[in-house]
Chain A
Amino acid sequence: MPSVTPNPALKLKPHLWLIRAIGVIVPRRWRADWRQEWEAELRYRETLLAEWDKLDWQTKVDLLRRSLGAFWDALLLQPWRLEDEMFQDLRYGVRMLWKKPGFTFIAVFTLALGIGASTAIFSVVDAVLLRPLPYPQAERIVSAREVDAQGRQITFADRNFQDVQARSRTLAAAAEYVSQLTTVLGGSEPVRLQVAYVSRDFFKVLGVQPAVGRAFLPEETKVGGNPVAVVSAGYWEKLLGSRSDLGATPLRIDGTNYTIVGVMPRGFNFPKDAEVWLPIEPFPESQSRTAHGIRVIARLGEGVTLAKARAELSTIGKQLKQENGKDIDLVDIAAPPLQEALVGESSKTLLVILAAVAFLLLIACANVVNLLLAQMTARQHEFDVRAALGATRLRMARQFMAENLLLSLLAGGVGVLLSFWGVQALLLLNQNNLPRADEISVNLRALAFTFAISSLVAIVLGFVPLLRFGGRDLQARLKEAGRGQTANASSHWLRATLVMTQVALTLVLLVGAGLLGKSFMKLLQVDPGFRTDSAVAMEISVPVQSGNNEAQARAYFYQQLLERVRALPGVVAAGGVNGLPMTGGGADGQFLIDNNPALKGYGEFRIATPGYFGAMGIQLLRGRLLADSDSPDAQHAAVISNALARQYWPNEDPIGKRIQYGNMDGDMRLLRIVGVVSDVREFGLDANPRPTVYAHYLQRPRQAWSFTIVTRAQGDPAALIPTLRTTLQSLSRDVPAEFRTLAQVFSSSLDNRRFSLVLFGVFAVVALLLAALGIYGVTSYAVTQRTPELGVRIALGAQGRDILRLVIGQGMKVVLIGVALGLAGAFALTRLIANLLFAMSATDPLTFAGIAVLLLFVALLACYVPAQRATRVDPMVALRHE
């Protein structure tokens, strides 16, 4: 390489300065040549220009411009640079990790646990909370709700929706929809599916059109229009064989034939689980402004802000209230963005779980850092020799980072595998209650997250040990190494701090798990109001010819079915209802007492058979239950729940009173109250029982298009299922049914709570294990370091007891501080899970105390083992080490 001539007038030559600066990033071995090449060209040109008298500012700028290209040149040389030194570091790192398989395995596994759990949780949080809905400009879709006088958000009444749609100027489109489980015939087999009844602009609001065929035409979306249907891709593939002639065979739903005109794109899933969409307009509109159940979505108009639309809807709501007074429930209209409405309460839970998993990751990192510190001390000599041979701190730091990057990447890889299983497990736990569950998967975003976390971990791991070691006197250390003593106060302090942090974080997680667990136990003690054992629920939707007697025909079907079911061997009792508790089903609305518009009431409306209460184990408190004598021509009878009786007739006997519930099914005949039954917790153990009215299924059959037959058995209820199925089929082959035991129904109502509990529990247990390992590791290490000292003590007459006390005392001191910090932290943080708790405070002192004791006990065990080892130190061997 030719020598570089000295550079005289370097100053005031920006183009040359630039080359100097850019040269920094060129790989070291090419740097000198590279610089010379560029400088030579620039200087040569400069000289030429000077010769030609052309060295003015324009040509100077030109020179600068040319030298800018050097940056690009240097940038493209980067791969060689990294390759160079990075590969060396990585090869060395691999060798180091290979030499210590035990350490590598534990470190990788510990980190993988933390990273895997974080990725799994992140996948869920990302799909549910972060990712926008899969519709064009989804942030401009809102879900509209009525707000009642108590401030609760409730579903719409049809007429109110019509008014909103007519009056609004800020919405580009609005649509109403309801969906229910219905039997659908016409495919390869009869199935019970979620069928959605949607209004004209439904697909317009969402911005999605059928992938095959078309949506509804305007003439189909009105009374008397041709019955048409749009189906999901899943249904089309599985039950229609993906046939191209959509209209070949119609679907038969509730006695009407629907011609299929379109197939939605794969993955389209709104409303939840819907597989068939029908126009809602042909169905008779309810005139009531208080019969709820309609859901509404709307798209904001062009250029309209969310705030503006919400303000307008609120105004319309208030207008409607003013115009209709007591005939309307709503006092306002709320319009949260659709994503918010869908996600609802689960966002709080998910964020808390995300925080918990972050704790777990921190604890795992702390463990590995401790492991690394131990490693570092063992390798101190190696580093000092390298430093003596000329390696800079930066170089060694880089080498460290390479090793830790390897560790983290390995851990990240294993973590990704673990996260796949983790996501599966999470879905198994709570698929039904997680909104957007079908969008949850470990995808590219989750992988990018994993990579980011792994890299962050690598950086953290890499710096901490080096910070500790940097800047100490090299000579002194080499001398120390010769003597075999390499521990020092600051190392111990760092490790102690890590253990303290671990203990504190673990305590917080344990307290969280403890609170959730205790809360869950309390919840299980609540009486649901019915017996959950030994009973099977059979959910059916009976397709009948549509017509005036459609509802009656259905009711007679149920009657026949129940007769046959009761005759089966092993059946103790059987009955039916149109909305089983804890399945979220059933209508609610306003009623009038004694047909007096001034006396209004509000309750849940159910259609039941006489045998229902016996089959469910619901107690009769006064009067009588519904009976077979309550025939369609007799006076309409009703049984009410205790809550309703206490609310509206607190000081009188409600038996004999009459209510008008025409609101719900159009039948204005008065219902005479014949009995009061015990409350049932319709909406879960943690919700108060709602006032309920039960009408007789033969007298008021209209609302019973979907029905659940409950059969109480003598022995195992699941054994009855095949017989029940055959019995049903003996009556009709076209009625699919879903079977669940009441125990299963009850259990699924607890899915949400169980989800949080299991997750917290798993994190807490893992954290406890890791913390125990951490404590063990530090204590064990301390014992090793103090072996000479212990040897001296034993030689001077110390007993086993004394040694134990010394070692355990030292270890537990750190733990105690950690526990104190943890208790303070838990006290501050558990308020975040207060809304997940049932009937107890987030600072329940018993739980806090119990967990603290548990942790101290585990810590004691972890200290004990190395302490025992300390008592067996042979003073002769120990002293010889000096």
Chain B
Amino acid sequence: MGKGYLSYSATAILQAVASGYRYGFDIMDITGLPSGTVYPALRRMEETGLVISRWEKEGAAQREQRPARKYYEVTRDGEDVLAEAVRRYRLAEHLRPTTTKAKPSRQQG
């Protein structure tokens, strides 16, 4: 499977990330896919350059006394591939979440 081919569930996951659902568990919630699917897919997509991952800023995490979370962002390549996949899976158009998660504020990183 080359860079350009996305399975249906991978499309859903990538779309979730593109719509602002950047943390693993949030993606699970919005797509309804189990963690055993979401995380491996995220890792694959990171390897092929469709998403990148970052740790949230220390400050917020320390205040809440928990480890910093990792979040994912779609890359330019990822956007292209996603557009292509959405075309292919016409239904995916309809899967686009109606509520776009608000972009994280500067405080949360």
Binding site for B on A (CB under 8 A): 1-5, 8, 33, 36-37, 39-45, 47, 66-73, 76-77
A-B contact count (CB 8 A): 71
Contacts of A3 in B (CB 8 A): 58
Q: Provide the bound-state CA to CA distance between A182 and B39, in Å.
A: 71
5 CB < 8 A contacts A-B: A5-B62, A40-B66, A47-B64, A70-B39, A77-B43
- Residues on A with C-beta less than 8 A from B55 are 1-2
Q: How many residues of B contact A (CB 8 A)?
A: 23
Max chain A C-beta neighbours (<10 A), residue from B62, B65, B66: B66
Contact partner of B35 (CB less than 8 A), chosen from A40, A44, A73, is: A73
Q: Are A66 and B39 in contact (CB under 8 A)?
A: no
Closest to B67 in A: A40
Q: Complex formed: what's the CA distance from A77 to B39 in Å?
A: 11
* B69 and A44 contacting across the interface, CB-CB below 8 Å: yes
B87 to A: closest C-beta gap in Å: 28
How far, in angstroms, from A33 to B46 measured CA to CA in the complex? 15
Q: Find out whether the CB atom of B25 lies under 8 angstroms from the CB atom of A41.
A: yes
Nearest CB in chain B to that of A5: its residue: B67
What CA separation (Å) do A53 and B32 show in the bound complex?
23
A66 to B25, CA, bound (A): 8
List residues 38-68 of chain B with CB under 8 A from any CB of chain A. Answer: 38-40, 43, 55, 58, 61-62, 64-68
**B residues 1-59 with Cβ under 8 Å of A?**
23-25, 28, 34-40, 43, 55, 58
How many Å lie between the Cα of A115 and that of B37 in the bound state?
43
Residues A40 and B36 in contact, CB atoms below 8 Å apart: no
A-side contacts of B37, CB under 8 Å: 69
Return A782 CB to nearest CB of chain B, in Å.
Answer: 56
Additional pairs, 13, CB under 8 Å, beyond known A41-B23, A69-B39, A77-B43:
A37-B70, A40-B66, A40-B70, A43-B66, A44-B66, A66-B34, A66-B35, A68-B35, A69-B37, A70-B35, A72-B35, A73-B39, A76-B43
Which of B38, B55, B58: most chain A Cβ within 10 A? Answer: B55
* Smallest Cβ-Cβ distance to A76: which chain B residue: B40
Do B25 and A73 have beta carbons less than 8 Å apart?
A: no
A41-B69, A45-B25 known; A68 and B36 CB under 8 Å? yes
Cβ-defined contact, A39 with B67, below 8 A: yes
Smallest Cβ-Cβ distance to B70: which chain A residue: A37
**What is the chain B residue whose CB lies nearest that of A33?**
B70
Task: Report the minimal beta-carbon distance from A706 to chain B, rounded to whole angstroms.
Answer: 66
> Which residue on B lies nearest to A63, using beta carbons?
B25
**Which of the residues A1, A5, A76 comes within 8 Å of B66, measured between beta carbons?**
A5
- For the complex, what is the distance from the CA of A43 to the CA of B67, rounded to whole Å? 8
The docked-state distance in angstroms from the alpha carbon of A1 to that of B37 is 25
**Alpha-carbon gap, A5 to B24, bound state (A):** 20
Asked if B36 contacts A37 (CB within 8 A), the reply is: no
Judge whether A37 and B24 touch: CB under 8 Å.
yes
Residues of chain B lying within 8 A (CB to CB) of residue A37? 24, 69-70
Contacts of A76 in B (CB 8 A): 40, 43
Minimum-distance CB pairs A-B, first 4:
A69-B35, A72-B36, A69-B36, A40-B69
Q: Is the CB of B40 within 8 A of A72?
A: yes
A500 to B66, CA, bound (A): 64
